[in-house]
């Protein structure tokens, strides 16, 4: 949802906050939700910038930042490339976000330079210094979920007047924003629950196959979203459709190998080559997974089904399972080749979601250590992916991979395989380049 650059008149704030809060129920993806919550909270008071911190154990992790001034001003900006993501604070009362998280109170500060030196909290200038952007006026609100637990804080920075000058906070800002942020926190809590449940399913699979970790699932989901967003823009997919898919694709992607639960762990972890029968059992994970989502109760079910069913097909038709009956695994009528086996789907017979997952999954396998190989570096992995363009992979999806090369390392840094880091990052937002929502205020 976007807004014109007109300032919102005070009398309209309540109505707007109610409308915006209701719209949050449309989304299930943590990333998109964070993106929208922050953007819309900023729009209520015309704030130029903002951040959301989420609580992880005894830390606050900067989950998302938006800054129209920096994004306009020459830094290279997808927001996932802003320099301060992965910023982590201890939870104590010394920072504004920490104080608000602990005390569950709102702090509205018209001028950070004038904070009482005896106050328990101070404005940290580290980010200001690294970006040359001064946070003058800052309002920080707790994200309160049920039962009145704080899951972090949202910070809105530098509300602007119609001339682009920083103004103070209006009397009703706290009340209106508190109402909106309360609804936002509840929506966020539900989305996080959904992602957590999905990642727990992945952990169940990792008991069978050590490669299938929550970190791998999140990296694949993140890269798949990056690839889809680039591909969809290049193919003029309307923005409402892009948003709908981006809302569901990460969760669908995390389930891509759920069918491995049907394959004996002794085969999935077997060193060396598999015999014909073992290979058939491993390949059976596709149909086993797809069957779990064959009944489409929701659009997410349908997308997950397509992702699972098509993620091992190849652009050149040499993948699997091909044109088979879901229950029997036998070729569909008139869909078998000369050897009697089912023909593989080829080209655009494969859903775009399967074509994207194939690229994301194989790329992550290449740059990760496996029982049968060490990790390859990024340039070698990209070279291999390019060589397979038009054979294993859809050339246009490989083009999207090339176009998004800059986020590959960030995705790996965000979801490393080490458990310690994973505990901090599990169900945190993906490092996907977000949809841009500029507020378009002039800046003096």
Distance in Å, CB of 285 to Fe ion, minimum = 6
CB 329 within 8 A of CB 287: yes
| Rounded Cα–Cα distance for residues 362 and 367 (Å) | 9
User: Considering beta carbons, is residue 144 or 342 the nearer one to Fe ion?
Assistant: 342
Residue 387: both structure tokens together:
């060589």
Distance in Å, CB of 357 to Fe ion, minimum = 9
Q: Does 313 bind Fe ion (CB under 5 A)?
A: no
Q: Does 68 bind Fe ion (CB under 5 A)?
A: no
User: Considering beta carbons, is residue 255 or 437 the nearer one to Fe ion?
Assistant: 255
| Rounded Cα–Cα distance for residues 366 and 370 (Å) | 9
Distance in Å, CB of 67 to Fe ion, minimum = 39
Distance in Å, CB of 86 to Fe ion, minimum = 29
Q: Does 310 bind Fe ion (CB under 5 A)?
A: no
CB 388 within 8 A of CB 365: no
User: Considering beta carbons, is residue 45 or 253 the nearer one to Fe ion?
Assistant: 253
CB 71 within 8 A of CB 79: yes
| Site track for Fe ion across 254-283, x = CB under 5 A | ---x--------------------------
H helix or E strand, kind and range, residue 253: helix 239-254
# chain residues binding Fe ion, by CB under 5 A: 1
**Cα-atom radius of gyration of the chain, to the nearest Å?**
24
Distance in Å, CB of 159 to Fe ion, minimum = 48
For 11-129, list the strands marked E by DSSP: 47-56, 59-67, 88-90, 107-109
CB 65 within 8 A of CB 41: no
User: Considering beta carbons, is residue 173 or 257 the nearer one to Fe ion?
Assistant: 257
CB 368 within 8 A of CB 417: yes
User: Considering beta carbons, is residue 247 or 257 the nearer one to Fe ion?
Assistant: 257
Q: Does 209 bind Fe ion (CB under 5 A)?
A: no
Residue 301: both structure tokens together:
């079910």
| Site track for Fe ion across 228-257, x = CB under 5 A | -----------------------------x
Residues near Fe ion, by CB under 5 A? 257
């Amino acid at each position: 949802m976007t807004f014109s650059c007109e300032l919102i008149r005070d009398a309209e704030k309540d109505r707007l906050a109610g409308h915006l809060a209701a719209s949050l129920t449309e989304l299930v993806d943590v990333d998109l939700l964070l993106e929208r919550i922050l953007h819309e909270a900023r729009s209520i008071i015309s704030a130029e910038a903002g951040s959301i911190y989420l609580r992880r154990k005894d830390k606050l992790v900067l989950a998302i930042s938006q800054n129209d001034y920096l994004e306009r001003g020459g830094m290279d900006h997808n927001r996932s490339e802003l320099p301060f993501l992965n910023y982590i604070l201890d939870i104590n009362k010394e920072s504004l976000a920490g104080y608000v998280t602990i005390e569950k109170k709102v702090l509205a500060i018209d001028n950070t330079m004038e904070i009482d030196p005896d106050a328990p909290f101070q404005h940290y200038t580290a980010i200001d210094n690294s970006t040359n952007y001064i946070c003058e006026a800052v309002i920080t609100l707790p994200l309160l979920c049920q039962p009145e637990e704080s899951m972090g804080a949202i910070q809105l920075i530098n509300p602007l007047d119609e001339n682009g000058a920083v103004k103070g906070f209006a009397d009703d800002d706290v009340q209106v924003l508190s109402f909106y942020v309360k609804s936002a926190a509840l929506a966020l809590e539900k989305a996080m629950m959904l992602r957590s449940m999905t990642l727990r399913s992945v952990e169940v699979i990792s008991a069978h196959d050590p490669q299938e970790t929550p970190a791998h699932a999140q990296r694949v989901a993140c890269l798949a979203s990056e690839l889809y967003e680039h591909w969809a823009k290049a193919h003029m997919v309307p923005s409402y459709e892009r948003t709908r898919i981006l809302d569901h694709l990460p969760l669908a992607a995390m389930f891509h190998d759920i069918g491995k639960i049907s394959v004996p762990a002794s085969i999935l972890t077997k060193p060396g080559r598999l015999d014909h029968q073992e290979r058939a059992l491993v390949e059976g994970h596709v149909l086993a997974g797809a069957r779990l989502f064959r009944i489409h109760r929701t659009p997410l079910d349908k997308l997950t089904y397509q992702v699972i069913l098509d993620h091992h097909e190849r652009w050149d038709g040499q993948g699997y399972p091909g044109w088979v009956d879901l229950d029997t695994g036998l070729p569909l009528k008139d869909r078998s080749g000369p050897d009697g086996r089912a023909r593989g789907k080829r080209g655009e017979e494969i859903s775009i979601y399967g074509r994207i997952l194939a690229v994301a999954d194989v790329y992550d396998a290449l740059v990760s250590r496996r029982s049968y190989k060490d990790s390859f570096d990024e340039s070698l992995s990209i070279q291999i992916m390019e060589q397979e363009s038009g054979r294993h992979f859809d050339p246009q999806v490989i083009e999207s991979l090339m176009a998004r090369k800059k986020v590959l390392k960030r995705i790996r840094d965000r979801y490393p395989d080490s458990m310690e880091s994973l505990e901090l990052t599990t169900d945190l937002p993906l490092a996907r380049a977000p949809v841009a929502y500029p507020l378009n205020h002039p800046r003096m």
